[in-house]
Amino acid sequence: MAQDIAFLIKFVDPQYKSDDVATEVHYLIEDLRDLDGMSQTRFEHISEIRDVAEIRVGVTFVAHSDLLGPILRRLRDRLYYNPIETYFQFQISDLVLQIQTHQADDLMGFMAAAQSGLLFAPERDYLAEAETYSRTQGELSPTELDNLNLLRQRLGIPAEEAEVLNARAASPYPTKADKHRHFEDITAAEFSRLRAMDEGPPFAPKDIWPVLQELAENLGLPVLEAEAIYQTHQQRYDNDFRLKTEQTAAKTAEDNRLSAAARAEAERQKQAQQAQERLNQYRNLCRQTMANSIYPSEFDQGRLDQARRLWGVSMAQALQLEAEVRDELYGGVASAAGVDYNRLRTLLHQQAWHEADMETEVVILKALNLDMQLVTAATVERLPAVDLATIDALWTRYSKGRFGFKAQQQVYRAQQQIQADDRQRWVAYEQALGWREAPSLFSRGHKPYHDLNFSLEAPQGHLPTWRWCCPSLSDRYKINLEVMAAVMHHLNECMPLEAVAVPALDTALPTQIV
């Protein structure tokens, strides 16, 4: 459906001379008249007074819209080859386009619009209707599309072309629901982006609403509706952010609390460790000062006393530590009966075997709570195992295993394997210990106590003697067999021997009684 277009073309380049302008007008008309369908066109000159002379500076004419394309191409080509500043005016109904340029490219946009046919009926009218629906209703709903379809048929526009025009008017999202969904998706994506940014190092905060508002406007979605969607997401984001901040704050507080607790515990441990270190230092000093004697010298006692004061060790702790170190270095003196074995230990340390033997009697009687009373088989059993072990350990330690109850037990075990007869076994036992000699015609072999051997050359198990079992030592060192059996039984009960190989007997000593 062709329609008339009014053209006005005028050369406005001030540098051009009047004659040249007139010549250009002439050539322009000639060029245009050359076009197909333009031979009958009536060209009206536009004249201007320049330097008191009237000259032709342009031309006006009317042509059918079908010719718009060829005319524009011709004008473009002319500008391309002769870029003279020119004023163009194209009037299509009430629409007027003015272009002033010397560049051919400036005509390209109008050429494209002319070629699309959107400036002329029927496409122009169809697009105007579709645009109106899209703008006023916010969508091309089925009802609007039905109306447009009727219009299309009336205007004789092909269905495919109408589709293109619909898409142009309504964007790729023709219905409100499509626009709403799209906007919702994009808003969600925006907030996902913000959440992802929150995960890493910080970014400068920016307001995303203006771009979303722009999108809503471009989509034709009511801004209030779009804002509601945005606010929903913003609220959710703010809530998440607040929750995360609270969690982080709570975690930090918890970490701080744990850290404070850990610091307090570390401090407590440090103090405990320092206290322990001081005790250890004191213990080491005790070891150092008792290395050569059971009781430190006066000088070393001075050192210990000063160290105790400086390290803040209490007197009780110091005494306990000293006792522990002494026990460790010189043997323990534990007693279940409350007996003090220190003197015995000192005597044994001094290798004063005789005095030690007598002290052993003293401590055993103390342990049995007997005061020079006769020890019987019954009372023997009251000797506490702890005390027996202490006495044995001290004797064993200082005789390097030669003396002590265990040595005596071992000797007895050896006799057990040799002598089946009880009586003979005991006699042999005493002989093995060196407590009696072999019986002879004139003697039963019992030795006086002072004839016993109080040295390390004495036989195995010779000491300590069981003088505390003897009713009298003035005549001879003789122990009642029943008491002896009771003692050995009690020793075996309290200090059972391990199942070890029986030590070789001292063959130099008699093992058999005659």
Partner 1 sequence: MVDNKLPHSAIGFSIRSLEIERDPKIIHAEIQALCNSVVKLSGLEQSRFFVFRRSLRPKQIGAEQAGALSETSLFTGLKFEIPAKNFRVVLRCVASWLDSIAQATLFALDISPAHIITLKTAQAKDLAQLLSLGEALLPPQELYLTQAEGYVNTFGELTPAAKANLLLVRHRMGLTRDEVNDLNAKVMGPFKTLGEKYQHFRRELLVCKQESDLDSELWQVMQAKADTMGLPEADAQFLKAERLSALRREAERERQQREAEAEAERQRYLEQQQRLEHYRHAFESLVMDALVPLNVAPDADQFRQAIMAQLSGLEFNRGRLIQARDFYRLTPPGADTLEKRVLDELYLLSDLL
3-state helix, strand, coil in the chain (%, to 5): 60, 10, 30
Query: Among 3, 41, 101, 288, which residue interacts with partner 1 (rule: CB under 8 A)?
Result: 101
Q: What is the number of other CB atoms lying within 10 angstroms of the CB of residue 454?
A: 18
Contacts of 306 (CB under 8 A, 6+ apart): none
Decide whether 84 or 113 has the Cβ nearer to partner 1: 113
**Residue 450 has what DSSP assignment?**
G
479 to 7, 374, 471: CA distances (angstroms): 157, 11, 8
Q: Is 100 in the site for partner 1 (CB under 8 A)?
A: yes
CB of 409 to partner 1, least distance (A): 44
Q: Is 124 in the site for partner 1 (CB under 8 A)?
A: yes
d(CA 202, CA 306): 62
Q: Is 277 in the site for partner 1 (CB under 8 A)?
A: no
Query: Among 177, 197, 319, 362, which residue interacts with partner 1 (rule: CB under 8 A)?
Result: 197
Q: Is 309 in the site for partner 1 (CB under 8 A)?
A: yes
Q: What is the number of other CB atoms lying within 10 angstroms of the CB of residue 422?
A: 11
Q: Is 310 in the site for partner 1 (CB under 8 A)?
A: yes
Contacts of 225 (CB under 8 A, 6+ apart): 180, 216
Q: Is 14 in the site for partner 1 (CB under 8 A)?
A: no
Q: Is 142 in the site for partner 1 (CB under 8 A)?
A: no
Q: Is 119 in the site for partner 1 (CB under 8 A)?
A: yes
Q: HSE-up of 171 (CA within 13 Å, CB side)? A: 17
Q: Is 106 in the site for partner 1 (CB under 8 A)?
A: yes
CB of 296 to partner 1, least distance (A): 9
Q: HSE-up of 201 (CA within 13 Å, CB side)? A: 0
CB of 168 to partner 1, least distance (A): 8
Choose the binding region for partner 1 from 53-61, 128-136, 244-252, 330-338 (rule: CB under 8 A): 128-136
Is the torsion defined by CA of 34, 36, 40, 42 positive or negative? negative
Query: Among 37, 69, 83, 109, which residue interacts with partner 1 (rule: CB under 8 A)?
Result: 109
Q: Is 156 in the site for partner 1 (CB under 8 A)?
A: no
Map tokens 């901040």 to a residue: 245
Q: Is 83 in the site for partner 1 (CB under 8 A)?
A: no
Count of residues in contact with partner 1, rule CB under 8 A? 68
Q: Is 210 in the site for partner 1 (CB under 8 A)?
A: yes
Q: Is 116 in the site for partner 1 (CB under 8 A)?
A: yes
CB of 148 to partner 1, least distance (A): 13
Decide whether 101 or 232 has the Cβ nearer to partner 1: 101
CB of 508 to partner 1, least distance (A): 48
d(CA 145, CA 179): 17
Choose the binding region for partner 1 from 22-30, 39-47, 104-112, 425-433 (rule: CB under 8 A): 104-112
End-to-end CA distance of the chain: 161
Q: Is 307 in the site for partner 1 (CB under 8 A)?
A: yes
Contact assessment for residue 68 and residue 112, using Cβ atoms and an 8 Å cutoff: no
Query: Among 298, 371, 457, 498, which residue interacts with partner 1 (rule: CB under 8 A)?
Result: 298
Choose the binding region for partner 1 from 44-52, 200-208, 266-274, 388-396 (rule: CB under 8 A): 200-208
Q: Is 21 in the site for partner 1 (CB under 8 A)?
A: no
Q: Is 458 in the site for partner 1 (CB under 8 A)?
A: no
Decide whether 71 or 219 has the Cβ nearer to partner 1: 219
Buried/exposed code over 191-224 (b: 16+ C-beta within 10 A; e: otherwise): beebeeeeeeeeeeeeebbeebeebbeebbbeee
123-137 helix and 159-170 helix, angle to the nearest 10 degrees: 40
Q: Is 12 in the site for partner 1 (CB under 8 A)?
A: no
Map tokens 């007693």 to a residue: 335
Torsion of CA 230, 231, 237, 238, to 10 degrees: 150
Buried/exposed code over 34-65 (b: 16+ C-beta within 10 A; e: otherwise): eeeebeebebeebeeeeeeeebbbbbbbebeb
Decide whether 206 or 251 has the Cβ nearer to partner 1: 206
Q: Is 1 in the site for partner 1 (CB under 8 A)?
A: no
Please give the residue ranges that form the binding site for partner 1 (CB under 8 A). 92, 94-101, 103, 106, 109-110, 112-113, 116, 118-119, 124, 127-129, 131-132, 135-136, 167-168, 171-172, 182, 186-187, 189-190, 193, 197, 200-204, 206-208, 210-215, 217-220, 297-307, 309-310
